[in-house]
Amino acid sequence: MSDPADDGVEMKLDQALLDFMRRSDAGKVEDRDSFLAEFPELAPQLRTLLEAADWIENMAGPTLGELGGVTSKNSYPDSEAENAQPHSNAVTIPVPSEWNTDGRPIRRTQISINDSTLPLPPNQADFSLTSLPNPDNSHSILPYRFGDYILERVLGRGGMGVVYLAYQVQLERRVAIKMIRSGCLASEEEVDRFYTEARSAASLTHPNIVTVYHCGEIDGHHYFSMDFVPGTDLAKRMVSGPMSPKEAVRYVRDVARAIDYAHEQGVVHRDLKPANVLIDESDDVVVTDFGLAKQMDSDKGLTATGAMLGTPSYMSPEQAAGNNSDQGASTDVYAIGAILFALLTGKPPFQADSVLQTIMQVVNRPAPTVRQFNPDIHTDLETIVSKCLEKSPARRYASAGDLADDLDRFYQGFPIKARPPSFLRQAKHWLAHIPLVAAITGVRNVEPTRSQRIAQNVTMVAVLGALLLFVASGTLSQYWRDRSLPSSVTIAAGTRAGSYYEFGGKFAEQMPVISGRIAEVIETSGSLGNLRLLEEKRANVALMQESSVRPDQVAVLAPLFYEPIHVLVPGDSCIESIDQLVGKRIVMGQKDSGTRQTATRLLKRFNVTPENSTVLENDWTQVESLNDADAIIAVIKAGHPGIAKLLKENRFRLLSIENAAALVLDEPMLRPFEISSKAYGTKNVIQTLATTALLVVRKDAPSKLVEACLEAIYEKSLQADGFIPIEQAANWQGLPYHEAARKYFTRFEGSR
């Protein structure tokens, strides 16, 4: 049975604690010592209870903003708040009533508190900073006066810090305030790292880096103020999926420029990731969060070697391994490449089920390529990303500025400087990961016996001998294969009435002169049929539209000529635009033809689909199909006699494609094109789009065959009106050229 006197003391303690909390919520507690002086007989026990309540409060759940929030009608900077209304959520906090000497509670009591919006104190003297809002506290109240700032709401929180949107009273502006999340309990290392971030960011003056205004400490709470950037960040932009290459390149290029400036000032960021790249209301990037930054010539205030700092999916291999001494400008270059990878594919290059697995992948696995996840990405852009993600810092871009320059070249449509890794280097990298080779070359500081030395030497000789034999045999085999020609050359063209078949015939005439081999032209159903013939090795060379090319299956020899899209409607038809073809009968070419592929993609942009219209399974050259057609789409060289005949007889007329230039942004295989009035004797120029006719071979085609084909085209005057000049072909961006073709065009690069 408990002592009634003890029960009375406990009741007084509970009542006093409840009174303190109510006064704190109302902003009527000047400081804790003054309050304890009102209860001298209970002061020691009451102080212990208050400290315990503080600890429990710090460990509580989400903020009020996350539970529905507290709004304030205060006007800034110094107006009084209107009468506060109680918040609907009651928070129950368990508080120890009594403690053993070993720190364990004997009995606990429950205190219920109704959260409410509080009047804003008119000046700083009206409250105690011991009750500074905690972002993890279920009854933190905002807005809150903090020195010259009024904290309005939480913008974000991380492992170490919390960022508030604040109003600076004296300067009448909104800023972002960052504080250490653990507040007064922060360790010396946390404080040191916090001020390292402030100093690093404050030393940088750049339009794409957040501006730090002031840092300091108020009643044990360390903080710094910085520019408030309204908008979003790249992490939020990625939620809806991968970005377009153009948009991603522009953002990352500007990040690289900003980071290059930071490097010039001696600051390495070390925690670049999409969440730390803000996008302001002008759609410009702003790099923030220099919490892990270091000076290039100093490690002051940083964790010792062997510790890992950063975000696993975006950290470099040297970061993941904890090698602080190796973390320099190339560390940020790697992270920028990882950000670009994520923007293009929707996820970072490494992302396993756990942090440890992710770190192991970062350290040990070669980075995947962006085209493994998005085959439509340009090979030059893949090369840029792969160079950033090299395991060895020495193989990455020498600086963030060099990376930004290459990204800008790609953005402007110029050739990039980076080159894919050579076959030999890839082979060496692969061999280095064989366990036996890794064991022999990776062990250090051992003292082997004489027999161990002999065994080691014999094994190394055997491995090296096999390697040399493999390389030599492969090189010789490749050499002889490249210098050989097939006994005859088969050319896959299109239908006999088409431009491809016409060109194929002229091309076949020149091949015996160039190579001494007989050439044969095969009539086919179109580009996709030609692709199959190449894959099945029933053809050596083929013509096809660019939209039908599969870079993983074939290689390009040369772009030949443009093929504009002809949209024809009957002369007496009321149709004036493509979107009016819904519900109409449309001739779009045979199923395997490039015309069908291109027409389908074009019509989809105008919401004309096979489901809401009728596709006639015929070619425009088949006269019987024209009588039933409401429209014809023909992708063929301008000035074709068959099209000219249809127009001359006034049976059909040409439609212009509205917004042709805008459609190119979404269809990189197409380009704006004007069909001149001279082409068909029309009154007006027709605005349309065009694809490109290409000469292609299998990727493993002999170099000798490639050289013979190019010589036939460019040195035997096969070009006619409308052919793409060799200088333009040499500077063409985005085509998956055969290696021998690249070498052939090298002498023409840069010329126009």
Note the pLDDT tens digit of each residue in 642-700: 888 888 888 899 999 888 888 887 777 888 999 998 888 888 899 999 999 999 999 98
Q: What is the pLDDT of residue 87?
A: 32
342 and 366 in a single domain? The answer is: yes
Burial tier of 506 (Cβ tally within 10 Å: 0-12, 13-18, 19+):
middle
Q: Could you give the CA distance from residue 97 to residue 498 in angstroms, rounded to a whole number?
A: 94
pLDDT of 38 strictly over 90:
no
Angle between helices 379-388 and 400-412 (to 10 degrees): 170
**601 vs 298 pLDDT, higher one:** 601
In DSSP notation, 388-438 reads: HT-SSGGGS-SSHHHHHHHHHHHHHTPPPS--PPPHHHHHHHHHHTSHHHH
Characterize 174-213 residue by residue with b for buried, 16 or more Cβ atoms within 10 angstroms of its Cβ, and e for exposed. bbbbbbbbbbeebeeebeebbbbbbbbbbebebebbbbbe
Please measure the distance between the N-terminal and C-terminal CA atoms of the chain and give it in whole angstroms.
Answer: 103
Q: Name the most confidently modeled range: 246-250, 461-465, 613-617, 673-677.
A: 246-250
**CA-based nearest residue to 268, from 318, 229, 234, 213:** 318
Q: What is the CATH number of the domain that holds 355?
A: 1.10.510.10
Strand 212-218 to 149-157 pairing: unpaired
Positions annotated as catalytic residues are 271
**CA-based nearest residue to 521, from 546, 497, 494, 547:** 494
Contact 280, 230 (CB under 8 A): yes
Q: What is the pLDDT of residue 105?
A: 35
Q: What is the CATH number of the domain that holds 628?
A: 3.40.190.10
Angle between helices 435-442 and 423-432 (to 10 degrees): 80
Burial tier of 516 (Cβ tally within 10 Å: 0-12, 13-18, 19+):
exposed
User: 588 in a domain, yes or no?
Assistant: yes
User: 465 in a domain, yes or no?
Assistant: yes
Q: Which of 51, 85, 119 is the last residue of a domain?
A: 119
| Per-residue pLDDT tens digits for 337-387 | 999 999 999 999 998 888 888 888 888 778 889 999 999 999 999 999 999
Please give the DSSP secondary-structure letter assigned to residue 686: E
User: 157 in a domain, yes or no?
Assistant: no
Q: What is the pLDDT of residue 80?
A: 31
274 and 397 in a single domain? The answer is: yes
507 and 572 in a single domain? The answer is: yes
| Per-residue pLDDT tens digits for 587-620 | 988 887 888 888 888 898 899 998 999 988 777 7
Q: What is the pLDDT of residue 113?
A: 30
User: 222 in a domain, yes or no?
Assistant: no
Neighbours of 352 (CB within 10 A): 15
336 and 304 in a single domain? The answer is: yes
**462 vs 705 pLDDT, higher one:** 705
The mean pLDDT of the chain is 77
Determine the average pLDDT of the residues in 310-318. 85
Determine the average pLDDT of the residues in 697-704. 89
**88 vs 300 pLDDT, higher one:** 300
Bridge partners of residue 489, in order along the sequence: 519
**CA-based nearest residue to 551, from 692, 696, 665, 671:** 696
Q: Name the most confidently modeled range: 17-21, 123-127, 321-325.
A: 321-325
pLDDT of 244 strictly over 90:
yes
396 and 470 in a single domain? The answer is: no
Number of helices (H) and strands (E) in the chain: give both, helices first: 25, 23
Strand 631-635 to 585-587 pairing: parallel
Q: Could you give the CA distance from residue 680 to residue 378 in angstroms, rounded to a whole number?
A: 36
451 and 600 in a single domain? The answer is: no
Task: Give the dihedral sign, CA 125/130/133/138.
Answer: negative
pLDDT of 10 strictly over 70:
no
pLDDT of 92 strictly over 60:
no
User: 488 in a domain, yes or no?
Assistant: no
288 and 403 in a single domain? The answer is: yes
476 and 351 in a single domain? The answer is: no
550 and 696 in a single domain? The answer is: yes
13 and 100 in a single domain? The answer is: yes
329 and 352 in a single domain? The answer is: yes
Domain with 695, as residue range(s), is 495-752
Bridge partners of residue 559, in order along the sequence: 694
407 and 461 in a single domain? The answer is: no
Q: What is the pLDDT of residue 34?
A: 76
Task: Give the dihedral sign, CA 295/299/305/310.
Answer: negative
Please give the DSSP secondary-structure letter assigned to residue 525: S
Here the tokens at position 364 are 């040990």
| Per-residue pLDDT tens digits for 131-158 | 455 554 434 578 889 889 999 999 888 6
User: 404 in a domain, yes or no?
Assistant: yes
Q: Which amino acid is at 710?
A: L
Q: What is the pLDDT of residue 25?
A: 54
| Per-residue pLDDT tens digits for 178-213 | 888 766 666 777 787 788 777 778 888 899 998 888
| Three-class DSSP category at 350 | coil
Contact 273, 226 (CB under 8 A): no
Q: Which amino acid is at 73?
A: K
Q: How many domains does the chain have?
A: 4
| Per-residue pLDDT tens digits for 523-543 | 888 888 888 899 898 999 999
Q: Could you give the CA distance from residue 540 to residue 247 in angstroms, rounded to a whole number?
A: 39
Helix (H) or strand (E) run with residue 332 in it: helix 329-345
Q: What is the pLDDT of residue 104?
A: 36
User: 167 in a domain, yes or no?
Assistant: no
| Per-residue pLDDT tens digits for 538-568 | 999 999 888 888 888 899 999 998 999 999 9
pLDDT bucket at 224, cuts 50 / 70 / 90: confident
Q: Which of 482, 503, 520 is the last residue of a domain?
A: 482
Bridge partners of residue 279, in order along the sequence: 232, 285
pLDDT of 111 strictly over 50:
no
Q: What is the pLDDT of residue 373?
A: 92
Place of tokens 């030609």: 530
Here the tokens at position 252 are 């990352």
Place of tokens 């932009």: 237
Q: Which of 119, 142, 158 is the last residue of a domain?
A: 119
Q: What is the pLDDT of residue 63?
A: 34
Contact 580, 703 (CB under 8 A): no
Neighbours of 95 (CB within 10 A): 19
User: 535 in a domain, yes or no?
Assistant: yes
